Structure 1
Amino acid sequence: MEKDLQNKEAVKKLKSAAEDIRFCMYTTYKNEKIESRPMTTIQIDEDGNAWFFTSKKTEIGSETNPEEAVTLIYSDPKNNTYLSVSGSAVAVEDQAKKDELWNPMTKAWFPEGKDDPNVVLLKVTTDEAAYWDNTSSQMIVFFSMVKAVLTGTTPDGGDYGKLNLA
């Protein structure tokens, strides 16, 4: 069933889905080519912005242009939850924000710690987002599809909609 969400309700859904799934494909378009790489979401803030750590030694850390268009694609097939976020990215040099977001698991990727001069934050400001969420078990989803095939109807796809954060 289509359920578009607005404002705080939209941010809450975005935050819940993205932080539960945690991993996304961070997708950019450069040189007439779509490029994706896995990234770990550190936080979705109260405005619906996504935060990531990266290194200046990587392409994404060294070549992110201010206001670069990105798409974040989250997928949790086990729980039938999917999220697509479009927005703009910017590299952020803010030690207080690094301190706030740093956690023990982040150290696995950055062994020199949060004070490493190559560690940089990426902030993705969300322009548009959409979700697909079917909280039914995989067995119920399967039977819904079988029923649809046998009856010539469309299976129940669960909840989906746009997330309007403004």
Structure 2
Amino acid sequence: MEKDLQDKEAIKKLKSLAEDIRFCMYTTYTNGRIESRPMTTLEIDEEGNVWFFTNRNTEIGDSSNQGEAVTLIYSEPKNNTYISVSGHAEIVESETKKEELWNPMSKAWFPEGKDDPNLVVLKVTTEEAAYWDATSSKMVVFFSMVKAVLTGTTPEGGDHGKLNLA
């Protein structure tokens, strides 16, 4: 069933789906090429912004890319949940935010801890998203597809829609 959501309802839906997945493919368009790399979502705040840590010495962590258009792609095939989020990225210089987002797992990437000089906070200001959420069991999805084949109809694909996050 198609469900387009706005404002707070859209943010609530994004948080409920993406926070359980945690990992996304952070996708940019650079020099005529689509480039993706895995990132760990640290937080989706009350305004729908998505927060990450990254290294200052990477393309993502380079402050010359402020305002770069990005797409975050979340996928959880086991639960039939998929999200594509569009927005703009920026480096945020904030010791308070570093402290707030820091967790023990971050130390795997930043062994010097919160004070690592290469650790930067990355914020993606979200604008819109599309989601597909068919959290039914695999058996229910399978029988829905078989029914569609036998009846010449389209299978029920769960909820999907657009999220207006701006």
Q: Which amino acid aligns with 2:73?
A: I
The residue that corresponds to 2:154 in the other structure is 154
Larger mean Cα displacement after TM superposition, 140-149 or 57-66: 57-66
**Deviation, structure 1 residue 109:** 1.2
Provide the residue aligned with 2:42 in structure 1: 42
Q: Say if 1:10 and 1:163, in contact at 8 Å, map to a contact too.
A: yes
Q: How many angstroms does 1:93 deviate by?
A: 1.3
Deviations 1:99-142 (A, max 9, x none): 01101111111111011111001100001111110121011101
Contact 2:56 2:120 (8 Å CA) reproduced? yes
Alpha-carbon contact 1:87-1:124 (below 8 Å) kept:
yes
> In structure 2, what is the equivalent of residue 98 of structure 1?
98
Aligned residues: 166
Aligned to 1:110: 110
Gaps of 5+ in 1: none
- Cα distance between partner residues in 1 of 2:125 and 2:67: 9
Q: TM-score, normalised by structure 2?
A: 0.96
Q: CA RMSD in A?
A: 1.1
Shift, 1:35, TM fit: 0.1
Query: Aligned in 2, Cα 1:78/1:31: closer, same or farther, shift over 3 Å?
Result: same
Counterpart code for 2:128: E
| Distance change >3 Å, CA 103–CA 62, structure 1 → 2 | same
Gap regions ≥5 residues in structure 2:
none
Residue 69 of structure 1 aligns with which residue? 69
Q: Name 1:60's counterpart in structure 2.
A: 60
Q: Distance in 1 between matches of 2:145 and 2:115?
A: 52
Match of 2:140 in 1: 140
Q: Which residue pairs with 1:22 in the alignment? A: 22
Whole-Å Cα distance in 1 between the matches of residues 63 and 20 of structure 2?
A: 28
Percent identity for Structure 1 against Structure 2: 78
Take 2:144 and 2:109, find their aligned partners in 1: how far apart are those partners?
42
SS of alignment partner, residue 139 of structure 2: helix
Q: Deviation above 2 Å: which 4+ runs of structure 1?
A: none
Instruction: Tell whether the 8 Å contact from 1:64 to 1:89 is kept in structure 2 after alignment.
Output: no
In 2, Cα distance between the equivalents of 1:26 and 1:11?
Answer: 19
